[in-house]
């Protein structure tokens, strides 16, 4: 008997466990699923679901019948569409350039500060504007842009602006909106870039210094390439937010008695189609066009920025 048991033991080991994965391993494999599940549910409910519904609306008419590309043709031929598209393009282009250049430079400067309390104070100061909600930030900027009440009135008058309506001339609006967006969003991104810079191994930085590289050369040749993915990530999220420009021109339009038109951006134009003209199909067509442009540009940034590249690739 003892001999048989000894002979069967290797066979049992070769056959492996007879009842499948161990309970502990099975529970461990469920943890990632449980972590991803809430995000997946929200993504389906508030992301993919509305997108699919908008796509269906954009190819149907008011009765639900198939309309082909009629809705797209109608909104593109609207005399307000080219102007709104140009406004969004100018704002997004200016904002992204401002964001990438200044956020990266400010993050590098904060990272180079040797005194810990100074760096902490700067990071806190950068983050404070981002703690305000978007609408609150715009209301604050309504006072800043008014030469009558603004603490920057001497500067505004030096630039030739004597009234609020002078400051928000249509030619100034892309710059105004870019400044508002930068003021509210840059602080958080500076902290993200600061964290990315902290992940660069100290031995890499020390080796560069031993080779005689100065701060500028280290920033250009080592730090910037190693935080490139984070910069790409910032650009993609900012691009998605920028194409949805709505709150800033809407509040400025109300505060300026329609000096800023209520169809300044494509999102505002889609809102006018839906809730002023009751044309939800046209509104959905504008939304789908914005989504396609945003996804296309994001794909370019992902490909060029190597966002999903791994060390092995």
* Confidence tier at 21 by pLDDT (50, 70, 90): low
pLDDT at 161 over 90: no
pLDDT at 19 over 60: no
Kindly state the DSSP code that residue 171 receives in the 8-state scheme.
G
Both structure tokens of 25: 């391993």
At residue 116, the pLDDT reads: 76
* Confidence tier at 4 by pLDDT (50, 70, 90): very low
* Confidence tier at 22 by pLDDT (50, 70, 90): low
* Confidence tier at 26 by pLDDT (50, 70, 90): low
Mean pLDDT of the chain: 84
C-beta separation of 234 from 192 below 8 A? yes
pLDDT at 68 over 50: yes
Concatenating the DSSP letter of every residue in 225-290 gives HHTHHHHHHHHHHHHHHHTT--HHHHHHHHHTTTSS-TTSSHHHHHHHHHHTS--HHHHHHHHHHH
Give the pLDDT confidence of 133-146 residue by residue, as tens digits: 666 777 788 888 88
Give the pLDDT confidence of 69-105 residue by residue, as tens digits: 999 999 999 999 999 999 999 999 999 999 899 999 9
> What's the pTM value of the predicted model, to 2 decimals?
0.80
């Amino acid at each position: 008997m003892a001999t048989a048991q000894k002979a069967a033991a290797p066979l049992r080991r070769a056959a492996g466990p007879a009842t499948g994965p161990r309970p502990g391993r099975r529970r461990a494999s469920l943890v990632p699923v449980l972590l991803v599940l809430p995000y997946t549910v929200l993504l389906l409910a508030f992301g993919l679901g509305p997108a699919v519904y908008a796509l269906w609306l954009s190819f149907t008419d008011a009765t639900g019948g198939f309309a082909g590309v009629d809705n797209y043709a109608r909104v593109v031929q609207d005399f307000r569409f080219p102007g709104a598209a140009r406004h969004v393009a100018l704002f997004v282009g200016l904002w992204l350039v401002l964001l990438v250049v200044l956020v990266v430079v400010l993050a590098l400067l904060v990272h180079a500060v040797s005194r810990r309390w100074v760096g902490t104070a700067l990071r806190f100061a950068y983050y404070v504007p981002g703690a305000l909600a978007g609408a609150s930030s715009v209301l604050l900027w309504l006072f800043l842009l008014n030469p009558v009440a603004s603490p920057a009135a001497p500067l505004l008058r030096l630039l030739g602006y004597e009234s609020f309506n002078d400051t928000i001339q249509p030619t100034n609006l892309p710059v105004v909106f870019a400044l508002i967006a930068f003021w509210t969003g840059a602080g958080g991104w500076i902290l993200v870039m600061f964290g990315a810079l902290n992940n660069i191994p100290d031995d890499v930085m020390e080796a560069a210094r031993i080779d005689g590289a100065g701060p500028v050369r280290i920033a250009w040749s080592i730090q910037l390439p190693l935080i490139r993915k984070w910069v790409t990530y910032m650009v993609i999220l900012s691009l998605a937010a920028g194409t949805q420009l709505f709150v800033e021109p809407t509040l400025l339009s109300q505060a300026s008695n329609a000096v800023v038109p209520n169809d300044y951006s494509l999102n505002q134009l889609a809102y006018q189609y839906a809730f002023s003209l009751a044309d939800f199909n046209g509104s959905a067509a504008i939304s789908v066009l914005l989504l396609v442009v945003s996804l296309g540009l994001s794909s370019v940034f992902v490909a060029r920025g190597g966002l999903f590249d791994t060390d092995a690739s």
